[in-house]
Amino acid sequence: MIGLSHYLILSGLLFSIGLMGVLRRRNLLMLFFATEIMLNSANVAFAAVSYFYNDLTGQMFAFFIIAVAASEVAVGLGLLIVLYKKFGTLDLDDLASMKG
Amino acid sequence: MEKYVYIALFAPLVSSLFAGLFGMSKRRTFVGVIASMLLATSFFASAYLAYTVADTEKPIHITMMNWISAGDLVIPFGFVVDQISVTMMVVVTLVSTVVHIYSIGYMDHDKSFNRFFSYLSAFVFSMLILVMSDNFAGLFIGWEGVGVCSWLLIGFWYHKPDESTDVNPSISPSWAANEAFIVNRIADLAMLVGIFVLYWNTGSLQYDVVFPALSSLDNSILTTVAIALFIGAMGKSAQFPLHTWLTDAMEGPTPVSALIHAATMVTAGVFLVIRANPLYSMPDVSEVSFFIASLGTFVAFFAASMALVNRDLKRIIAYSTLSQLGYMFAAAGLGAYWIALFHLAAHAFFKALLFLGAGNVMHAMHDELDIFKMGGLKKVMRGTYLYMGIASIALAGIPPFAGFFSKDAIIETAFNEGTLVLWGILVVTAGMTAFYSFRQVFLTFDGDERYKAFDIHPHEMYKFVLIAMSPLALLAMIAGFFQGSFQEFITHLLPNYEMSHHTHELALYLGGLVLLFAVGGIALAYKKYANGLVRNEKLENGFIYQLLKNQYYIPAFYAEFISKPYAMISTMLWKSVDMKIVDATVDGIAYIFYKGGDKTRKMQTGNLSNYLNWMAVGLVMMLLVATFYALIA
């Protein structure tokens, strides 16, 4: 029998994978993928909790997050394209003009 | 009637603010003219108030507004125009009007002409607050206000460089100004204590509440208050041992010396004692009162002795001011308050005249003040000679001029009280006063023309200045005749003081004796100095002459035993405490932040990945903290 904790563990694992991606990756595009994974781990947790507590609010929230994530990706990818056109790279180690 | 009180009080303030508007711009004659006109307005309002008070015999008491109201402490801005304050108001506004007009001529070539009038009028305003206030708090504000104005005006030529004490005993105007201010602060501390003790024990600072409540107070409290208030008076009126600042204050422009350091501000101490007469005439504080009389007598003699040998025109007059203040305190201490006030008024007229005359001489001699370098000036300066002659006769106490009546009354009082020692000293001092006044007059105006050797071409002062001085000359001559009516006017408020029958019978002989001393002094001065200056090396190098010339070595003593140790302690505290503890702490804190910032600056790599790592670290730490608190809760 699959219970709530299984879903939450899955969510936690996904979040950790996303976090590791954010920390280790050097490519901005990959960073985007990693943040999407983190967002979706949250969605999993919301949906699971919502189902087990018989409360639709969580699922509504998950949809809301998906909508926001979609628009965020649209803007973000647009920025990435501009950035790539300007610098010819998306490697974070080469994009350090704010060095203090 | 309120209207006139406000006009008298605020016209000088308006004048000060108006002149202040032009403070930084170039010299404009109309500033001086308008200031003088406003002061004259104030004088006429005061004179009208004096007439009204004399007519109705009722004081005018008004409360302008509430000033401090906290808990039980209520201090209004209240003014009382009674016989005492109206006398002071008339004297102050009259002398200051003359001095304002005089200054238009005297400060003619000064580039800070406008600023001078601003300060001078501000002084008059403060002085009026001092005398008109109906409570001790207002008196104290005026007291400090005149102190500040005195500081501003002594140091008016603050740009003059410091000199050694051999060349100039007061070093520089800014030094003299600071000395005056600091010495007065010392005295003001005692005065504040006196006011606090009064408030603590009577619950009010209003004169009309405090004075009736005195009789229920303890003996020791009364004595404390009397002593503390008198120390305040000693500072402002430059009584021994706080007297050194007054002669150094002569660094200021001469009109300032005439107005502030002769006629008005320095008499504030006497005014305080007179105002607090219900306190000082109580039998419980008779020792304090007697001390005041003794100190006054001592200062009268002490200052006169230093004036005997001084060569500086203005300093001689300053010593004579000190000496005359001593006379006033002697009278006030012996209970003859109205005589003290009478001498105060008469003295204000002839002393201001004397100073203004000295200003004319100084102007003519291109700021030379050494009377050994003058002589024979009467040929070129007839008007000034006449004025200074009148003022000196009045000061020496020759009838029928003002000084005779007022000073003779004081000396008679000392005899009447049976304090024959004080009486003797005062009589001798009267002779000395006559001698040094006329020594100065003869050395300046008579004898050989020594100034020619120094290539100085003296000239008389402007006509309008001489005309402006005439009211003072007139009053110096005739003020004495009003003794009787003044006594009747003032004793509605002040306790009357009448000579005993015995003294009354002897009055003629007593007056004759004083007159003898005065005439003797003048004759001696005439014999020695009228036909030119003959210097006696042996006398001048003698011990007594040197002692007097060096002011009994008191300034040197203060410099050696107060200023120098104080400077040493200050240097020590500065170097060890301030630099090593206070500054080190502050610098250390700044250093930690600076270094911390410098070291952590490297976190700002510009690499987004690094930032994200730090963000993760922060997140983990916050999670840990949250967990920790969740666990202990």
Sign of CA dihedral B22, B28, B30, B32: positive
Whole-number CA gyration radius for chain B: 29
Cα separation, B433 vs B14, whole angstroms: 40
pLDDT given at position B554 = 87
Asked if A74 is an interface residue toward chain B (Cβ–Cβ < 8 A), one would say no
Query: Cβ–Cβ contacts within 10 Å for residue B36, how many?
Result: 24
pLDDT given at position A100 = 62
- Partner-chain residue, chosen from B601, B602, B607, that has the shortest CB–CB distance to A92: B607
pLDDT given at position B132 = 92
Query: Cβ–Cβ contacts within 10 Å for residue B58, how many?
Result: 11
Chain B: closest CA distance from residue A1 (Å):
30
Burial of B623 (0-12, 13-18, 19+ CB in 10 A): exposed
Asked if A38 is an interface residue toward chain B (Cβ–Cβ < 8 A), one would say no
Q: How far is CA B467 from CA A12, B141, B355, in A?
A: 104, 35, 15
3-state SS, residue A91? strand
- Among B127, B513, B507, B495, CA closest to B339: B495
Q: Which residues pair with B79 in a beta bridge?
A: B62, B133
**Residue B507 confidence class, pLDDT cut points 50, 70, 90:** confident
Q: Is residue A100 part of a domain?
A: no
Q: Is residue A41 part of a domain?
A: yes
3-state SS, residue B74? strand
Asked if A17 is an interface residue toward chain B (Cβ–Cβ < 8 A), one would say no
**Are B604 and A95 in contact (CB < 8 Å)?**
no
| Contacts B604 to A, Cβ<8 Å | 98-100
**Are A26 and B609 in contact (CB < 8 Å)?**
yes
- Among B448, B442, B431, B429, CA closest to B525: B442
**CA angle B232–B236–B238, rounded 5-degree value:** 110
B449 vs B87, residue with greater confidence: B87
Q: Is residue A98 part of a domain?
A: no
The two three-digit tokens of residue B55, written as one number: 């007519």
In the predicted structure, residue B608 carries a pLDDT above the cut 80: yes
- Partner-chain residue, chosen from B601, B603, B605, that has the shortest CB–CB distance to A96: B605
To the nearest whole number, what is the mean pLDDT of chain B? Answer: 89
Cα separation, B492 vs A45, whole angstroms: 99
ipTM surpassing 0.90: no
pLDDT given at position B11 = 94
Q: Is residue A63 part of a domain?
A: yes
- Partner-chain residue, chosen from A19, A99, A100, that has the shortest CB–CB distance to B616: A19
Asked if B618 is an interface residue toward chain A (Cβ–Cβ < 8 A), one would say no
Asked if A22 is an interface residue toward chain B (Cβ–Cβ < 8 A), one would say yes
| Contacts B616 to A, Cβ<8 Å | 19, 22-23
Name the phi and psi angles at A56, rounded to 5: -75, -10
**Are B612 and A96 in contact (CB < 8 Å)?**
no
**Are A92 and B601 in contact (CB < 8 Å)?**
no
Cα separation, B78 vs B151, whole angstroms: 27
**Are B612 and A100 in contact (CB < 8 Å)?**
no
pLDDT given at position B10 = 93
DSSP string spanning B434-491?
HHHHHHHHHHHHSSS-GGGGGT----PPPHHHHHHHHHHHHHHHHGGGGHHHHHHHHT
Task: Give tens-digit pLDDT for B542-575.
Answer: 888 888 888 888 888 888 898 899 999 999 999 9
pLDDT given at position B164 = 81
Task: Give tens-digit pLDDT for B199-234.
Answer: 998 888 889 889 998 888 888 999 999 999 999 999
pLDDT given at position B228 = 93
The two three-digit tokens of residue B149, written as one number: 């104005």
Of A46-60, B525-539, B570-584, minimum mean pLDDT range: B525-539
Whether the CB-CB separation of B350 and B97 falls below 8 Å is answered with no
- Among B199, B114, B217, B190, CA closest to B156: B114
Q: How far is CA B312 from CA B130, B162, B232, B238, B364, in A?
A: 32, 18, 29, 19, 15
Whether the CB-CB separation of B296 and B269 falls below 8 Å is answered with no
Quick one: what percent of chain B has pLDDT higher than 90? 47
Longest dimension (CA), chain B: 113
Task: Give tens-digit pLDDT for B146-159.
Answer: 999 999 999 999 98
Exposure of B151 in the CB half-sphere (CA atoms within 13 A): 14
Nearest CA in chain A to B597: A100
Q: Is residue A50 part of a domain?
A: yes
Sign of CA dihedral B239, B241, B246, B247: positive
Nearest CA in chain A to B612: A23
In the predicted structure, residue B37 carries a pLDDT above the cut 90: yes
Of B51-55, B533-537, B566-570, minimum mean pLDDT range: B533-537
Under 8 Å CB pairs connecting chains A and B tally to: 35
Interface test with B, best of A16, A27, A92 (most B CBs within 10 A): A92
Q: Which helix (H) or strand (E) holds B65?
A: strand B60-70
**Are A99 and B605 in contact (CB < 8 Å)?**
yes
| Contacts A28 to B, Cβ<8 Å | 608
Whether the CB-CB separation of A90 and A84 falls below 8 Å is answered with yes
Quick one: what percent of chain B has pLDDT higher than 70? 100
In the predicted structure, residue B52 carries a pLDDT above the cut 70: yes
Interface test with A, best of B599, B603, B609, B610 (most A CBs within 10 A): B609
In the predicted structure, residue B251 carries a pLDDT above the cut 80: yes
Task: Give tens-digit pLDDT for B359-397.
Answer: 998 888 888 888 888 878 888 888 899 999 999 999 988
Whether the CB-CB separation of B46 and B7 falls below 8 Å is answered with no
Q: Is residue A17 part of a domain?
A: yes
Task: Give tens-digit pLDDT for B118-131.
Answer: 999 999 999 999 99
Asked if A96 is an interface residue toward chain B (Cβ–Cβ < 8 A), one would say yes
pLDDT given at position B304 = 92
Task: Give tens-digit pLDDT for B412-451.
Answer: 889 888 888 999 999 999 999 999 999 999 888 888 888 8
Question: What is the total count of domains within chain A?
Answer: 1
Residue A76: which domain range? Answer: 4-93
| Contacts A31 to B, Cβ<8 Å | 608, 612
In the predicted structure, residue B533 carries a pLDDT above the cut 80: no
| Contacts A96 to B, Cβ<8 Å | 605-607
Name the phi and psi angles at B370, rounded to 5: -75, 115
CATH number at residue A67: 1.10.287.3510
B591 vs B69, residue with greater confidence: B591
Distance of CA B426 to the CA centre of its chain: 23
Burial of B576 (0-12, 13-18, 19+ CB in 10 A): exposed
- Partner-chain residue, chosen from B606, B612, B613, that has the shortest CB–CB distance to A98: B606
Q: Is residue A71 part of a domain?
A: yes
- Among B530, B311, B326, B281, CA closest to B426: B326
Nearest CA in chain A to B620: A19
**Are A97 and B607 in contact (CB < 8 Å)?**
no
Cα separation, B415 vs B27, whole angstroms: 54
Q: Is residue A15 part of a domain?
A: yes
Asked if A79 is an interface residue toward chain B (Cβ–Cβ < 8 A), one would say no
| Contacts A22 to B, Cβ<8 Å | 612, 616
| Contacts B613 to A, Cβ<8 Å | 23
Asked if A20 is an interface residue toward chain B (Cβ–Cβ < 8 A), one would say no
DSSP string spanning B484-524?
HHHHHHHTTTSPP----HHHHHHHHHHHHHHHHHHHHHHHH
The tens place of each residue's pLDDT in chain A, 100 residues long, gives 788 999 999 999 999 999 999 888 888 899 989 999 999 999 999 999 999 999 999 999 999 999 999 999 999 999 999 999 998 888 888 887 777 6
